[in-house]
Amino acid sequence: MANLRDIRRRIRSVNNTAQITRAMQMVAAAKMRKAQQAAVQGRPYATLLGEVLREISGTGAQLRHALMAERPAGTTVVVVVSTDKGLCGSLNSNLFRELLHYDPTKTVFVAVGRKGAQFIVRSHRRLIAEFTWRETHMLGMAQTVSRFVSGLFLDGDVDRAELVYTDFVSTLRQEPRRRSFLPVREIGSLVAAVDPKGPAVAPAAAEEQAGRLSGCVDFTFEPSIGAVLQPLLVLALDFLLYQVILEARASENSARMVAMKSATDNARELVRDLTLEYNKLRQAAITGELIEISTALSIRG
């Protein structure tokens, strides 16, 4: 009978776990729809901003800016966009594998999300800044991180900047990606939207398109090309990081919803197996008691 009590206790425990994972699944599903909508809606703006920058770069003007300065290979700062919480399947572990490609002696890290910061510290890499998620101010958070990284580059503390994040492709598919951030090389493709249905525009194709556009439109810059380029580059970098954060957020909620659904299904299946085992043991116990009673009566008779 003690075994029956243990099984009943396990069934109650697994049922409670299933209720929790089911609730987390519903919450993640509600957040997932909003996050996916925000990520998808940001892509057309990124494409349009990229076209504007391509047209400017195709005017033939000599574009020079401190954010475009090429330097010898030296220190690289990597912005890692992870999650603050777990329970999202293999999302973070797949992302952290990308960090293993960097040389720890020549790389410093900026973490957006506590999980990324914890991995960087555990793997004995140099973490110089950590930013936590701000659900209602993600654009402000993106601007803060972008200006911080740009400041490191302009001050000469780092020679390159890259982004490591999870790109949202679909509800069931999220892919870790690495992307260059600074210096700005091809401003026309700087904020090109990540299209899950096709590859990004190649630099040669971008130059061809820019030349075609510049042949149709004659631009006059007031007060100067430098004065126009400065706010455009800052805006492009801010929005690039904002779009990356939106993609990572959509990926996180999608992965968590799928993981919690899988956990709920596994818990229910385990409850069915435990219930079947409980009924078998209970039937065996009843049968044993009936045999003992019938044996006792036959002996008395």
80/162 Cα distance (integer angstroms): 9
- Give the E-state strand segments of the chain in sequence order: 76-81, 107-112, 126-131, 160-170, 173-182
153, 76 contact by CB (below 8 A): no
297/153 Cα distance (integer angstroms): 93
77 phi/psi in degrees, rounded to 5: -105, 130
51, 266 contact by CB (below 8 A): no
Name the residue among 7, 14, 2, 1 with its Cα closest to residue 268: 14
Q: Which of 32, 67, 79, 88 is catalytic?
A: 88
193, 240 contact by CB (below 8 A): no
238, 46 contact by CB (below 8 A): no
Residue 181 tokens, joined: 């951030």
Active site residue 88: yes
Residue 209 tokens, joined: 């398109």
33/35 Cα distance (integer angstroms): 6
- Bridge partners (DSSP) listed for residue 170: 173
Return the active site residues. 88
